Amino acid sequence: MAAAASFDEESIDDNPLLQDFEFPPFDVLQPKHIRSGIRELLKKLEHDLIELELSVEPFLVEPLELSVEALWTKFVVPLEKIVNRLSLVWNIVIQLKLLKDSPELSSAIEEVQPEEAVKFELRLNQSKTDYNAFKAIRKSHDWETLSDARKRVVECQMKNAILNGVELEDNKRELLNKIEQDLTRLSQKFVENVMEDKKKFDEKLIIDKNHVVGFAPTFLELFAQRAMFKGHENANAENGPWILT
């Protein structure tokens, strides 16, 4: 058991989705990293969110005990880090699916997206503590000292929380969450069907430059990338080969 636990810890530590990276780690990211990576990320973000909520709740009294600037630093900045990290990692996973889909990758995404990723996103958007913090900023005497950009952030966050059901009764919010998760599954299935249909189109390997004259460089880059994914490791936009559908 200890050996198995050690192996799991090592695999999590080595997971590209959990590393600090400057550029998306597409060169090392594999379908096997998706389940453990997303689950571990969500666990960490849930912990960070709870800690943030507990740290800010004591100050959400009227009149607001903190200045808006202090509350922004204590609450909004760390909240943005949570949101941005989730968005960054999930967008990398979706981009990988669009560029290099496989049954293993689709299965991994299907397993973690509706039940776990969407569930956490709903939890985040429906946080009453977060909503109350933004309301406190909006009602503060310091409101007019905020820049237009920061005012826009506060107003958008409040609107987003309301649209996601933060003010609903518990039973209605549970129904909304179920509908959101069902919609995610349906959207996921729709994308899968579209991808399967696209595979039915014939692909053509082009090695003669004369056959791609007139294509914009961006298209040639895309065609060359497609060739690389199909095993032509040296493919490039200038010299090919290129794969068209």
**pLDDT tens figures, 93-125:** 999 988 888 889 999 999 999 889 999 999 999
More confident residue, 64 or 47: 47
pLDDT at 2: 42
The Cα–Cα gap between 179 and 168 comes to 14
* CATH number given to 8-200: 1.10.1370.40
State how far the Cα of 77 lies from the Cα of 56, in Å rounded to an integer. Answer: 12
DSSP state of 234: T
> For residue 162, what are its two tokens?
């309301």
Query: Are the CB atoms for 240 and 224 separated by under 8 Å?
Result: yes
CB distance 46 to 123 below 8 Å: yes
pTM of the model: 0.75
**Mean pLDDT, residues 52-71:** 91
- Identify any residues that bridge with 243 across adjacent strands, giving them in sequence order: 205
Indicate the domain borders of the chain. Answer: 8-200, 201-245
pLDDT value of position 7: 40
Averaged confidence pLDDT in the chain: 89
Report the pLDDT averaged over residues 43-71: 93
Q: Report the run of H or E that residue 204 belongs to, with start and end.
A: strand 204-206
- Which residues on adjacent β-strands are paired with residue 206? 242
Q: Do residues 52 and 75 touch, judged by C-beta distance below 8 A?
A: yes
